[in-house]
Structure 1
Amino acid sequence: MKQLFSWLTLCLWLCALPLLTACVDEEEFDNTPQGNFEALWKIIDEHYCFLNYKHEAYGLDWQQVYDKYRVRIDNDMSNKQLFEVLAGMLGELRDGHVNLNAAHDMGRYWSWYEDYPTNFSDTLLRRYMGTDYQIASGIKYKILDDNIGYMRYESFNDGIGEGNLDEVFKHMLLCRGLIIDIRNNSGGMLTNAEKLAARFCHKLTLVGYYQHKTGPGHSDFSSREERYLAPSANLRWNKPAVVLTNRRVFSAANEFAVYMKTLPNVFLVGDHTGGGAGMPFNSSLPNGWSVRFSAVPMYDAQGEACEFGIEPHYNVQQTDDDFAKGRDTIIEYARRLLAQ
């Protein structure tokens, strides 16, 4: 029997998961460069959720990674030297959710957006928004001069209430269509993404699947469980809508794009999203450094992994000619699409 996916259940499970893995970190390994290296490699080996997927995607071999970085470890090395080696090892995962945190630095992988065009400009956005836009908690919004509604949500860490959303949609009620701009939104609270997506959903909709680790093996996962998006009980949008994306759309914002792509009368315009389809949690090393990594894999409604992002319906790039004219190519494409 199909059941509505419960994020509360998943969150409770994620909270318990670090307790199950804590004994791996400090009890088995010494607080030495060698001990910290072994602890980190084993944490990833047993609990990271994309090792098999990334082996298939680009040939990642976690055992070979061990051999490559093990020879760089020396028990006489400094903390900064150790950090550089461990952060480099984690970089092999090519995962923006993977971070190594120490007092002096944070190891991170940002190539999911650094190596691509931004397809977003604050300068251009100010031309469209002006100074007379309205603000409803985390959302800035206004009606453009062609009677197209425009909504800018910069981060899903910025909370949004149902009352805020009611006021936004009431304001846009007579608009022909609506643009939801999440470019450069690197994620935040998944509940905020779901709350907004539910305003465009009109029946219980399968939006994807998830699994969780059941053992230390790279293939030790539960069977896939369905994730559903339920319609909001509040005011909903019934007209065409366009979601604007670029490579800096990541994590919860990537999930929002996944949800919206499943809904009728909604189109994604812009660049491929950045990805980040694993639910992360934290663990620690013997020296107190913390490591965050993807623990629960998420899939779209077709069962495809979204770790490396999703393709929009219409791939549109910002042009230099439009920029020189003060035009946002992606916004203008969305306006033409809605005008049709």
Structure 2
Amino acid sequence: MWKNSRKILLGILIGAALVSGIVAAQARDGDLDRVAPFDLDSLWLMKQARAIIEAYQVDAASDDVTEKDLLYGAMDGMVSAWGDPYTRFVDPEQLEQEQTDLRGKYGGLGIYIGQRDGAILVISPIEDTPADRAGLKPQDQIVKIGDEMVIGWDLHEVVDSLRGDPGTPVTVWIRREGESDLLKKEMVREEIKLESVRFEMLSDDIGYVRLSQFKDTSPSDLGKAVIDLKNEGARGLILDLRNNGGGLLNAAVEISDMFLNGGLVVGTKGRVERANEELYATDGVLTDLPLVVLVNEGSASASEIVAGAVRDRGRAVLVGKKTFGKGSVQTLFNLIDGSAIYVTIARYHTPNGTVIDHIGISPDIEVDGEWSREHDKDDQLKKGVETLEELIGGAPILSISEDVVG
């Protein structure tokens, strides 16, 4: 642990000058022309600090620390100093691993996590995964993994520790609101296969679709589910986005498009012009059946985009609990040596202009409770069914709630 800390500390001191030079060299055109290089006093300060460490630090003569270690430590320290957990530096090995994970299966626990005020929080467990079966819940704070306290770790370090070869055990300690002691969760990693859509008829009139994440096949899978439910006689639909931690932006826009007849789905607002964008639905809808959307504190990112779009546009009623509030846009900037920086360049806003990030979306009808596989024990679903029956009977959507997205 000390060795890694020393790499980062020494790297911040020596490598920042190199980073400054790279950035200054790239600042000749585009958005980077506003970047200022380090002043001479800063460079001399780093040089002096490195000289002291190399002269006196007990391990400084070790060959374990290379110039590249120092540079990457500097990059990591500089990027993390901005205080945004989603703006982060990744070295070439990390980048390759993350891109491999995005392409398919991986060994892990099946859990979306986020960071807020320095705490590592569970956004949501993925249905039927080790995390789900162990009873992890949205807003649980991960405090310890195995014997390691994760206080001060970044998100990537936590994800790295949670993942591993299928079949290997891991113990996670969490802090949960209302519990005085830490909760110990012992799990065995599995190959996580991400299935995003399942559906059923809840009655002769009501179709139910559960969307657990937004991946590239989710729009087509959801479209087929809606068509099948209509063919089975559904006169109204419940879209369940609870414990859906998000996924691909384009999937969220395509799914919103199924229920909206044109108009704005979501916009982004950032500091530079190219970060400002508005994404629209196409003319024509897959279905105009009455719609209720279920959300909770585990609904994040892409889920919040869909929920905000259909609610702001008067297309659906939201039932459940306030969403997580993860509404920022990250862009990957590749660097010259194969490393990269993920940078938060903008924040999402709903059609009525409400910013999602750190705020979340409040439902039209707030209902306590948790998602349950057993429908008769799911108070939020039961309220959603009751609300949808009113809509099928002709009750106007806006009469149910006068709230706006909060």
Interval of TM-score (by shorter of Structure 1 and Structure 2): 0.5 to 0.7
How many equivalent residue pairs? 266
Task: Answer whether contact 2:124 2:245 (CA < 8 A) is retained.
Answer: no
Confirm or deny that 1:299 pairs with 2:349. Answer: yes
Task: Answer whether contact 1:119 1:318 (CA < 8 A) is retained.
Answer: no
Change (3 A) 1:146 1:167: closer
Shift of 1:140: 0.9
- Name 2:258's counterpart in structure 1: 199
Task: Answer whether contact 1:30 1:36 (CA < 8 A) is retained.
Answer: no
- Counterparts of 2:196 and 2:126 in 1: how far apart (Å)? 19
For 1:90, give the aligned amino acid.
S
- Counterparts of 2:22 and 2:368 in 1: how far apart (Å)? 40
- Counterparts of 1:274 and 1:222 in 2: how far apart (Å)? 27
- Counterparts of 2:197 and 2:373 in 1: how far apart (Å)? 25
Query: Counterparts in 2 of 1:117-132, with a 5 A limit?
Result: none
For 1:34, give the aligned amino acid.
A
SS class of match (2:242): coil
Task: Answer whether contact 2:262 2:284 (CA < 8 A) is retained.
Answer: no
Shift of 1:335: 1.7
**TM value normalised by structure 2:** 0.50
- Name 1:5's counterpart in structure 2: none
SS class of match (1:193): helix
SS class of match (1:335): helix
Change (3 A) 1:38 1:146: farther
Task: Answer whether contact 2:88 2:343 (CA < 8 A) is retained.
Answer: yes
SS class of match (2:314): coil
For 2:197, give the aligned amino acid.
I
Higher strand residue share: 2
Change (3 A) 1:312 1:36: farther
For 2:355, give the aligned amino acid.
A
Q: Equivalent of 2:213, from 135, 141, 155? A: 155
For 2:90, give the aligned amino acid.
N
Q: CA deviation digits over 1:288-317, x for unaligned, max 9?
A: 543212223332222232222222222333
**TM value normalised by structure 1:** 0.59
- More displaced 10-residue stretch of structure 1: 278-287 or 256-265: 278-287
Q: Equivalent of 2:287, from 236, 243, 247? A: 236
SS class of match (2:386): helix
- Name 1:245's counterpart in structure 2: 295
Q: CA deviation digits over 1:127-152, x for unaligned, max 9?
A: xxxxxxxxxx8421111147421111
Change (3 A) 1:315 1:225: same
- Name 2:333's counterpart in structure 1: 283
Shift of 1:180: 0.9
- Counterparts of 2:234 and 2:204 in 1: how far apart (Å)? 9
- Name 2:238's counterpart in structure 1: 179
Confirm or deny that 1:110 pairs with 2:114. Answer: yes
Change (3 A) 1:117 1:82: closer
Change (3 A) 1:265 1:208: closer
For 2:248, give the aligned amino acid.
M
Q: Which has the higher contact order (CA 8 A, sep 6+)?
A: 1
Shift of 1:186: 2.4
- Counterparts of 1:30 and 1:120 in 2: how far apart (Å)? 37
Q: CA deviation digits over 1:187-229, x for unaligned, max 9?
A: 222222222222211x322344334544xxxxxx479665432
Give % identity: 20
Confirm or deny that 1:274 pairs with 2:332. Answer: no
Task: Please tell me the root mean square deviation across aligned C-alpha atoms, in Å.
Answer: 4.8
Shift of 1:273: 2.1
- Name 1:34's counterpart in structure 2: 16
- Name 1:142's counterpart in structure 2: 200
- Name 1:311's counterpart in structure 2: 362
Task: Answer whether contact 1:182 1:245 (CA < 8 A) is retained.
Answer: yes
Q: CA deviation digits over 1:143-201, x for unaligned, max 9?
A: 11474211111121141455861553342352242111122322222222222222211
Change (3 A) 1:164 1:87: same
Note the residue ranges of structure 1 that are not aligned, 5 or more in a row.
1-28, 49-65, 127-136, 215-220
Greater Rg over alpha carbons, structure:
2
Change (3 A) 1:225 1:195: closer
Task: Answer whether contact 2:14 2:70 (CA < 8 A) is retained.
Answer: no
Change (3 A) 1:289 1:184: farther
- Counterparts of 1:250 and 1:274 in 2: how far apart (Å)? 5
Task: Answer whether contact 1:275 1:306 (CA < 8 A) is retained.
Answer: yes
Shift of 1:331: 1.6
Shift of 1:39: 8.2
For 1:229, give the aligned amino acid.
A
- Counterparts of 2:374 and 2:276 in 1: how far apart (Å)? 48
